[in-house]
Every structure is written in C-alpha cells, then in structure tokens.
C-alpha cells in the first residue's frame, strides 16, 4: 500500500509539471470547481492517507534518512503545487523547485522501501 501510494504521488509530481507547461502553452485557465477542486481534493485525501501510513512506518522502522518533518513538508508542498499547476501565472521556478523537492523525498523513500523489501 505504501509503495503504491508513493508511486502514485511520484506520477502526480510529473503530471503537475506537464499540466503547468500545457496550461502555459495553450494559454488556458481551468474552471476551479470543475477541474481544479475535484483533482486537488482527490490528491489531498491521498496525501493524508500516505502521511498517516508513512509516519506509522517511520515509528516502526526508524529509518536513518527519512523523518516525519520531511514527510510533513512534502505533503504541504504537494498540496500547494497540485493546485498551482493548473495556473499559468504560477512562478515557473518556484513550482519546479517545489516539485523537485517532493520528488526527491518520494524517490528517497522508494529506495528505502525497496531496500526494506529486499532485506525481508
């Protein structure tokens, strides 16, 4: 479950960047209640579930290089950039850096989880 959710969130990071570039390219604005809110709500729920699961996992496994603060920061950043990716006026540099930061955390976690699976 944890691995699957992490993979989904990583895919969404890539999608957010692509969505942002498409919005800029096509010069379109989404309808907040039709396009943005349902998508943001879906990922907000996934992030809450993922955060609870990963924090429980951190308490149990006590990984050396993954901490609850990193998880909270990643959840907060992703919550924001999922919405921001729909708007072309979002700062390109800031959005890119936020996505890169969360991607790094998710990929690090993936490596730790895969290593854990191999150790079993």
The pLDDT of residue 118 is 58
Q: Give the integer Cα–Cα distance in Å for 18 and 72.
A: 24
Domains and CATH numbers, the chain: 2-119 (1.20.120.440)
Question: What percentage of residues in the chain have a pLDDT greater than 90?
Answer: 89
The pLDDT of residue 74 is 98
Q: Give the integer Cα–Cα distance in Å for 81 and 64.
A: 28
Least confident interval from 19-33, 44-58, 104-118: 104-118
Residue 14's Cα: distance from chain center in Å? Answer: 9
The pLDDT of residue 91 is 96
DSSP code of residue 65: T
Q: Is the pLDDT score of 117 beyond 70?
A: no
Mean pLDDT of the chain: 94
pLDDT one-digit tens code per residue, 81-91: 999 999 999 99
Which is more confident, 119 or 105?
Answer: 105
> At 119, is the pLDDT very low, low, confident or very high (cuts 50, 70, 90)?
low
Q: Give the integer Cα–Cα distance in Å for 25 and 76.
A: 27
Structure tokens at 36: 């943005």
The pLDDT of residue 114 is 87
Q: Which residues are CB-neighbours of 20 under 8 A, at least 6 positions away?
A: 84, 85, 86, 87, 88, 90, 92, 95
Q: Can you give the three-state secondary structure of 12-41, one letter per residue? A: HHHHHHHHHHHHHHHCCCCCHHHHHHHHHH
Note whether 72 and 51 are within 8 A (CB): yes
């Amino acid at each position: 479950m944890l691995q699957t959710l992490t993979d989904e969130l990583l895919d969404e990071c890539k999608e957010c960047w692509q969505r942002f570039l498409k919005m800029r390219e096509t010069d379109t604005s989404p309808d907040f209640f039709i396009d943005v809110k349902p998508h943001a709500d879906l990922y907000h729920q996934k992030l809450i579930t993922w955060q609870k699961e990963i924090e429980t996992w951190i308490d149990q496994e006590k990984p050396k290089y993954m901490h609850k603060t990193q998880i909270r920061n990643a959840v907060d950043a992703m919550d924001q950039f999922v919405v921001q990716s729909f708007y072309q006026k979002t700062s390109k540099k800031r959005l890119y850096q936020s996505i890169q930061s969360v991607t790094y955390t998710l990929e690090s976690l993936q490596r730790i989880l895969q290593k854990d699976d191999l150790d079993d």
